[in-house]
């Protein structure tokens, strides 16, 4: 599994270093705050047991136990691993939203929405781009 937020050393790479390790689409989303089209990501309907890590730096971000079916077209989680995700105000597109980024490398994950009425413990939906994630299943744990 990847880095834990408590022990992680923040990753600070310039654009050329990120381009060398990320695919063009990963770079567009993680580093340029893009969005993948709804319903196209590999983790939208993925429900295996394990941990979702940052595709940029490997930091553990979400446990599969917090993933739920929201029908929004992107992977949805009701909570992140403590300390793994940062929140920022995003005022693009003429509205205020809450952007979520990897606390270790600053990679763009998506946005968090509150008060939508989903039957989850937090009443939040972390709407995450699949391409921002990689999955580590529980079978690989010792």
The first and second tokens of residue 71, run together, are 């029908």
This prediction has a pTM of 0.88
Name the helix (H) or strand (E) containing 17: helix 15-21
pLDDT, tens digit, 9 for 90 and up, residues 106-118: 999 999 999 999 9
Query: For residue 3, is it within any domain?
Result: no
The yes-or-no verdict on residue 22 having pLDDT over 70 is yes
In a domain, 124, yes or no: yes
Angle at alpha carbon of residue 107, lines to 119 and 105, rounded to 5°: 115
* 102 within domain boundaries: yes
**Residue 132: what are its φ and ψ, rounded to 5°?**
-80, -5
- The pLDDT of residue 125 is 97
Give catalytic residue positions: 127
Other residues' Cβ atoms within 10 Å of the Cβ of residue 3? 18
Domain hosting 79: range is 15-140
Mean pLDDT, the chain, whole residue set: 91
> Number of structural domains, the chain?
1
- How many CB atoms are located within 10 Å of the residue 43 CB? 21
23 within a domain of the structure (yes/no): yes
Contacts of 4 (CB under 8 A, 6+ apart): 59, 60
Residue 76 has pLDDT above 50, yes or no: yes
Q: What pLDDT, on the 0 to 100 scale, is given for residue 141?
A: 52
- By C-alpha distance, which of 44, 43, 19 is closest to 31? 19
Comparing 4-13, 23-32, 44-53, the range with the smallest average pLDDT is 4-13
Domain harbouring 48, CATH code: 2.170.150.20
pLDDT at 103 over 50: yes
Q: Is the pLDDT of residue 8 over 90?
A: no
Quick check: is 4 in a domain? Answer: no
Mean pLDDT in residue range 36-47: 95
Q: Is 136 exposed, middle or buried (0-12, 13-18, 19+ CB in 10 A)?
A: middle
Inside any domain, residue 107 = yes
What pLDDT is attached to residue 6?
44
């Amino acid at each position: 599994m990847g880095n834990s937020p408590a022990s992680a050393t923040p990753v600070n790479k310039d654009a050329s270093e990120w381009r060398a390790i990320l695919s063009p689409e990963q770079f567009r989303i993680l580093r340029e705050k893009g969005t993948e089209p709804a319903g196209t990501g590999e983790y939208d309907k993925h429900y295996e047991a394990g941990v979702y890590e940052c595709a940029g730096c490997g930091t553990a971000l979400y446990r599969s136990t917090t993933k739920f079916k929201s029908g929004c077209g992107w992977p949805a989680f009701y909570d992140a691993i403590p300390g793994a995700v940062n929140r920022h105000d995003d005022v693009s597109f003429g509205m205020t939203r809450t952007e979520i980024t990897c606390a270790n490398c600053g990679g763009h994950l998506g946005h968090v929405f509150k008060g939508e009425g989903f039957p989850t413990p937090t009443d939040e939906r972390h709407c995450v781009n699949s391409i921002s994630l990689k999955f580590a299943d529980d079978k690989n744990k010792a």
